[in-house]
A and B are shown apart, each in its own frame.
Chain A
Amino acid sequence: MSPTLAARAKILKCLGAGHEAGGATPSQSCPRDYIRRGSLDADGRLAKLIERLREYDAEVAECAPDGLASEIATLLARSGRNSFVAPAGVPRQWLAPGVNWKIDGESGGELATEEIERCDGVLTACFCAIADSGTIVLHHSAAEGRRVLSLLPDWHLCILRASQIVETLPEYFDRCTEIPALVTWISGPSATADIEMTRIKGVHGPRFLNVIVVKEQGMGSRE
């Protein structure tokens, strides 16, 4: 028996024999009497998300569905940056003209890490956003990109439809009809408070997080 198998047997024996290695059973004992569902309407959720994102120093813009392409172009231009990367799954109309685009995963070709590192910014979609904690959730689908895409460039622009906003964290889990293999929960730009508890924005992850919320028909105007 290899050492790790011997250790396995020893540990499992100490943890008690006769375990069922079957599926996880839903807990009978755990009372779910914490708040699972929020109480805000769509406008309230949007307002809360924006407030919480701004508290993290993230920048948030709102636009109508037909104004998205021009809003993206405006933000890219205002960023003063020139080379951007996007996953192949984002809609073509998001790729505003006038800057250099590198597309990851186009016709099966993945960009090299060094190529992504040389990009100034990244544009992605997201799976969901949680208003309560100002969190953007990525499941790294084709429009959200591989994990490295939203990590190396210093500037991240994330496109979010208002209907993707939930109020509470449990509501996000309710939306996961399938359990994802990869998840990144992003709450504001990279930060540290390791030196005298002073919050410093931007360590290794993107230093700038920008979010455009696309408001669907029928939502109130808040500007």
Chain B
Amino acid sequence: MSHAQQPILDPALAPPFPQAALPMLRDTQLRKNVAHATDVIQAKRARLIAEKSDWQQLRSAAALIRDEALENLGGYLEQFETRCKARGGVVHWAADAAEARVIVLGILQEENASEVIKIKTMTSAEIQLNPHLQAAGVKVFETDLAEIILQLGELEPSHIVVPALHVNRSQVREIFARTMGLDNLSDDPQALTAAARNYLRRKFLEVPTAISGANFLIAETGAVAVVESEGNGRMCLTLPRTLITLAGIEKVLPRYGDLEVMLQVLARSATGERMNPYTSLWTGVTPGDGPQRFHVVLLDNGRSAIRTRERERQTLRCIRCGACMNACPVYRQTGGHACGSVYPGPIGAILTPQLTGMKHAQTLPFASSLCGVCYEVCPVKINIPEILIDLRAQVTDQERGKAARFFDPMYLGMRVANLLFSRAWLFHAAQWKARIGLKIFTSKDGWIHSLPSIGAKWTQTRDLRGLPKQTFHAWWKQRKQASR
């Protein structure tokens, strides 16, 4: 594989974005894979959005439905709990990742489970469930094709919908051939997919315990919905004796009928399909059909705190379609690993630091050009740029007061600027000095292409316009004098 070192997706341990992005930018294979995948999804999405004359109305309705759910989130969760229990489900609550891991492992131990099959769930990656279960002796089998690639190749996810989009077919072939012992495997995606099918078929039929995430929880009925493509989800939701669903508390929709909007916007945004091949909905336990023991773990892990902030609350509208990362010019260059989180891209840049209570991942809100394309493609109209700016302010407020930051060139510069901009005579003097000082760096075309020392941080990647010969103030004065 082209990466020598595994990326770290734990926000508490990951290096800052600019540092983590460097190896990604040098990895031409990775950038090619990411560009190809995001181009394909974007083209498919654009074609399907164009045929939908009511797309903007659907977006507005989707945003309002999500807002309604978040407005009365406690009430809807209680309602979900009551209805799910009435249909034979068991509802657990977890305030943080550690509690959720303990609950899930506890259920598995009660079931005497030595193995568990899993549907792709980013929430389980968020709480780092797999390593916890493996350490306790439970063997975890991921069943989504992309997740199998990652699990067998010991790689990390780089996208929330197509987590292995950074891996190409020859890399997949290498992983499958090595781990499944298939020396003659070709790199044809058809053959690779068939290999995954064979690898998992017996597991589906034999492992009695499964873990899933949830795309939606329906408060009105206590039902859970899962959206997928391959049928591995249906296998996990239907065949085992026991099913554990791990869901963020924000996943609630008030009514069954709200799916008429959400299902229209989700698949189109996520994979560029009118509808994904399979969507499953179940309500508690149905005698004779599917798992007869059903647990839901409702996970907070920082979500309720996000909800209390007026502007940031819209972060929780997210339905995890990934459209923002496919469109993002930063994500398309770096891929997902540089974000140091299982939630990469623009949504990750606002979600990750907030989930950690703004204690980690503070560089992510700055890793954006604020071009606004993430907002434009978002099916639930999350104003990501607005939140990015707000989080930048929060990070700056955190740092400003720190003693260690006192001599930081940026904050030093800002303090100097503050001084200069608040006194006219100082400002004019500074302009005069800068014009003289920058003169030797300004080339004939009027641009500064290269600055020494700290100024190089700017000119490394872009040119700086040289200072004009005359300032506006000087011109204004001159004009007044001339007209006299």
Genuine A/B complex? yes
Contact of B205 among A113, A133, A147 (CB under 8 A): A113
* B64 within 8 Å of A (CB atoms): yes
Interface residues of B in 32-89 (CB under 8 A from A): 33, 36-37, 40-41, 53-54, 57-58, 60-61, 64-65, 68, 72-79, 82, 87
> A181 contacts which chain B residues (CB < 8 A)?
87, 221, 223, 282-284, 286
* B341 within 8 Å of A (CB atoms): no
Interface residues of A in 7-46 (CB under 8 A from B): 7-8, 10-12, 14-16, 19-27, 29-36
Residue of B whose beta carbon sits closest to that of A188: B277
Cβ-defined contact, A20 with B103, below 8 A: no
Interface string of A174-217 (1 = CB under 8 A from B): 00100111111111111111111110101111100000000000
Contact of B283 among A27, A133, A182 (CB under 8 A): A182
Complex Cα distance, B77 from A169, in Å, reads 26
Complex Cα distance, B289 from A151, in Å, reads 12
Interface residues of A in 111-130 (CB under 8 A from B): 113-114, 117, 130
Given contacts A7-B93, A34-B54, whether A194 and B164 have CB atoms under 8 Å apart is yes
> B193 contacts which chain A residues (CB < 8 A)?
192, 195, 200, 202-203
Given contacts A186-B277, A190-B231, whether A21 and B260 have CB atoms under 8 Å apart is no
Cβ-defined contact, B230 with A27, below 8 A: no
* B204 within 8 Å of A (CB atoms): yes
Given contacts A11-B300, A12-B77, A187-B275, whether A34 and B261 have CB atoms under 8 Å apart is yes
Most buried by B among A146, A179, A196: A196
Cβ-defined contact, A11 with B95, below 8 A: yes
Tell me the number of A-to-B contacts counted with CB atoms below 8 Å. 247
Contact of B94 among A4, A117, A132 (CB under 8 A): A4
Cβ-defined contact, A194 with B304, below 8 A: no
Contact residues on A (Cβ < 8 Å of other chain), bracket: 35 or more
B-side interface mostly: helix
Complex Cα distance, B231 from A29, in Å, reads 37
* A52 within 8 Å of B (CB atoms): yes
* A219 within 8 Å of B (CB atoms): no
* B257 within 8 Å of A (CB atoms): yes
Query: Please, how many residues of chain B have a CB less than 8 angstroms from a CB on the other chain?
Result: 98
Cβ-defined contact, A113 with B239, below 8 A: yes
* B290 within 8 Å of A (CB atoms): yes
**Chain A: minimal CB distance from B179 (Å):** 16
Interface residues of B in 258-314 (CB under 8 A from A): 259-261, 263-264, 271, 273-284, 286, 288-290, 298, 300, 304-305, 307-308
Interface 9-mer from B13-21, B248-256, B332-340: B248-256
Residue of A whose beta carbon sits closest to that of B60: A31
**Chain A: minimal CB distance from B256 (Å):** 5
Cβ-defined contact, A197 with B94, below 8 A: no
> B99 contacts which chain A residues (CB < 8 A)?
3-4, 7
Cβ-defined contact, A190 with B277, below 8 A: yes
Complex Cα distance, B41 from A35, in Å, reads 25
Cβ-defined contact, B249 with A11, below 8 A: yes
Cβ-defined contact, A151 with B277, below 8 A: no
* B362 within 8 Å of A (CB atoms): no
Complex Cα distance, B231 from A206, in Å, reads 8
Cβ-defined contact, B65 with A146, below 8 A: no
Cβ-defined contact, B235 with A204, below 8 A: yes
Extra A-B contacts (17), CB below 8 Å, given A19-B72, A197-B165: A4-B99, A11-B74, A11-B249, A12-B77, A21-B78, A23-B79, A35-B53, A110-B288, A146-B290, A147-B238, A185-B279, A188-B277, A189-B277, A193-B271, A194-B145, A196-B36, A196-B189
Q: Which residues of A contact B (CB under 8 A)?
A: 3-8, 10-12, 14-16, 19-27, 29-36, 52, 56, 110, 113-114, 117, 130, 132-135, 140, 146-148, 151, 169-170, 172-173, 176, 179-198, 200, 202-206
